[in-house]
Each structure stands twice: as C-alpha cells, then as structure tokens.
Amino acid sequence: MLSRFLAKRFRASEQHTGLISFLSKASTIGVLLGVCVLIVSLSVINGFEQQLVKRLLSVVAHVEYHAPEKPIKNWPSKLALLEQHPNVIGAAPQMKLSAMVQYGTKLKALSLEAVLQTEHDKVSQIDQYIKGTPVSSLADDEIILGKQIINELNVSIGDTITVLLADQKNSNKTAQSKRLSLTLVGSIEMGGPVDHSTGIMALSSAQRVLGFSPDEVTDIRLAVDNVFLAHQVAMEAGRLLPDLVYVSSWFRAQGSLYQDIQMVRTIIYLVVFLIIAVASFNIVSSMVMEVKEKQNDIAILKTMGAKDQTIFMTFILQGLGYAMVGAALGVFIGVLLAMNISDLFKLWVSFSESNPLEGVYFVEFLPSVVHWPDVAITVIGTLLISTLATLYPAWQATKVNPAQALGN
C-alpha cells in the first residue's frame, strides 16, 4: 500500500525539527505509560475481586436464614428442603451469637459462631486458615479464635478462657449472661477483619448452655454455586422454609466491598483513558507541525497523481505508528509488572516497617490477575483514541495547494 510506504518514509525522515521529534516521542511515551498503568491497575483490581470470591467468600456465609424470635426446629428436615434448590451446594445449622471472651482481666467482644463440626465444611473452607485444631475436630469444650483476638487477650493455645453469652431465650436484655469455660485450641489466621472478630465453638455446647434442644438452632447457612446469584438463590430457597426467618446474603455484609472494587475499576478506566487521550492528542500537535513542514513533499505527491485519500491515510498511519509503538511497549511492560507486582510488593514490605494492607483488607498481600480481555480493550481503546487524534492533521494535509506550496 502506497500510504503505508509513505508513512514509513516520513517517520524515517530526519528532516524533523527538534520540537516535532520531541512531541512525537512525548506522545509515544505518554501512551506507553497510560497503557502500562491501566493494565497494572486493572490486574490488581482483578486480583482483589478474585481474592474476594476465592478467599473471603470461602469463609463468609453466602446465604443465612436467621430466626428472629422462635428457634428453627427440626433443622435436619429444613436442610433437606433447602438443598433441593439446584444452586445450593451445601447447607448447615449454626447459631450466630454476640459474645464476650474473658482471660484474666481482659475482655473482648466478638461474633461467635456455634457450628455443627461434621457439617460446617459444606458451607465454609475456614479450616485452611486455622492453625491448630480444625473445626471438623473441635470438641464440645473447645473454641477457636481469630489471631488478633488471641493477641489482644494475650492468651495461648491450650489456655482456658471464659465465654459470656447473651441468653437467647430471655426477652429481658438485662438478664445475666450465660458463662462457660472453653479451651483455646486453634487460631484463625486469614488476615483482615475475620481475625479481629470471629470465634468458633461447637453447636452442642451453645445449645446446652442456652437451653436449646439438639434439633433447635437460630440460623441456617447455605453455600451456593455462583456467589453473584446468592441473593436470588436466598430468596428462592427461603420460600421453601415454613419458618419465619430473616433472609441475608453476603451482599448485605460484604456487598459494599464488592461495589467498591467495581467503582474503583470504573474510575481507573475513566482516569487512565483520559491520560491516554491527552497523550494521544499530543499527536495532533506534532502532526500539524509535520504537515506544515512537509507541504512541499505533499505538493509533489499531488502533482504526481497522489489522491487525497492516499495523503489522508498516509498521515493517519503515521500518527497511528507513534501510538502503536507506545501501546506495544506499554502492554509488554504492563503485563510484566502485573505478573510480578505481588513479589515486588512483598519485597517492598520487607524493607518497610509495616504492611499497609495488614488488618485493613481481607488480604495482606497485593494480588494481581492479568485478564487478556482487559489488555485487548486497553489496546483497542488506545488505538481508537489515537485514530481520532490523527483525523484533523490528516485532513489538513489533503488541503495543501500544490501551486501555492511549490510557488513558495
């Protein structure tokens, strides 16, 4: 194609002034940085989303049914009803209790889950984050606490602690709490809020202390095959229950976190594409100056029979050449950084006094997952913006008057 040949010759020409050369390189570098930053940022956002699903939501309840007044009786039959739903992959009974743990003179409030040891692995994978006795092996007189709770109480594995439970069956809120002594046998070391607020004990112990029969619980927990359909499944499966219950999904407790991730993704797209747009429109400045500089060459081409379409495409391709070089280098550097940013973050933390993610988010490392569709969207968007930036200079090139240009 003649236009491609001419664009290549124009780029290789050494007749550029210093300013044109500088603007061309600046636009290329700007596109490079924009593409690189967008790929790395989106990869980190993808990493957080993946960890939300595979890490946090492997521990947090997908769906919960809570009995506000009377307990759920004959819970095995209720589990059988709920498991009939095609999207439910597991169901288990539990009691979510507001509690205080005491060791010596220290007190700590926590959310205590009383679970059936043999059924809990159907709805939670928390055992993989527990050091010590797993939930499946938890005895009636034992308890597992989050790592940060253990640190605040200054308690060790094997110590006996006192647990204070609100009396679920007593409507008098000033009634004396139920007390029981449990042995600490495990530590939840997941990172993030779970370590600060969660405790796990045997369901039978809570039932005995609070006066519940073995077939009575306050909550039923579900795991679903698609966490993003959890609310829909919660409502559909909940209709199978004859009991009056509150219906809750992970969107209630953790939905704001997921929405924050999506909002940050959108902001990053907008901000970085604006940066790419600014860098791409630097092409306009360099191309306009180049059109003026090459008026004689354009005039000669026209006198030799070159059509306006050929001239137009020549400068389109020349401008795109700058963008394509920047986009290609940006993709290479961006993907390379995205694939190694977790290790680079660990290296940075090793030289720093603290980890900025520790105890704040549900992960204490910087996750990153490269999605190739994101890379493709980035490249296509960049080239589209760059194409728009070349339209005006290319159109100006077609307006060169050979007689006037060569006459001067």
pTM for this entry: 0.74
* Averaged pLDDT of the chain: 82
State yes or no: pLDDT of 16 exceeds 60.
Answer: no
For residue 223, give the nearest of 125, 122, 152 by alpha carbon. 122
Question: Cα 147 to the chain's mean position, in Å?
Answer: 24
Question: Cα 151 to the chain's mean position, in Å?
Answer: 29
Query: What is the largest distance, in Å, between two alpha-carbon atoms of the chain?
Result: 104
Of 137-151, 178-192, 257-271, the least confident: 257-271
List, for residues 57-97, the tens digit of each pLDDT value.
888 899 999 988 788 999 999 999 999 999 999 999 999 98
d(CA 297, CA 192): 65
For residue 95, give the nearest of 72, 78, 75, 114 by alpha carbon. 114
d(CA 119, CA 162): 26
Domain with CATH 2.40.70 in the chain: 92-220
d(CA 401, CA 289): 17
List, for residues 233-277, the tens digit of each pLDDT value.
999 988 888 888 899 988 887 777 788 788 888 888 888 888 877
User: 92-220 is classed in which CATH architecture?
Assistant: Beta Barrel (2.40)
State yes or no: pLDDT of 334 exceeds 80.
Answer: yes
State yes or no: pLDDT of 175 exceeds 60.
Answer: no
For residue 279, give the nearest of 9, 46, 38, 44 by alpha carbon. 38
- Residue 257: Cβ within 10 Å count: 16
* Four-CA torsion 279, 281, 284, 285, nearest 10 degrees: -60
What is the Rg, in whole angstroms, of the alpha carbon atoms belonging to the chain?
A: 32
State yes or no: pLDDT of 176 exceeds 70.
Answer: no
State yes or no: pLDDT of 172 exceeds 60.
Answer: no
Average pLDDT over residues 120-130: 91
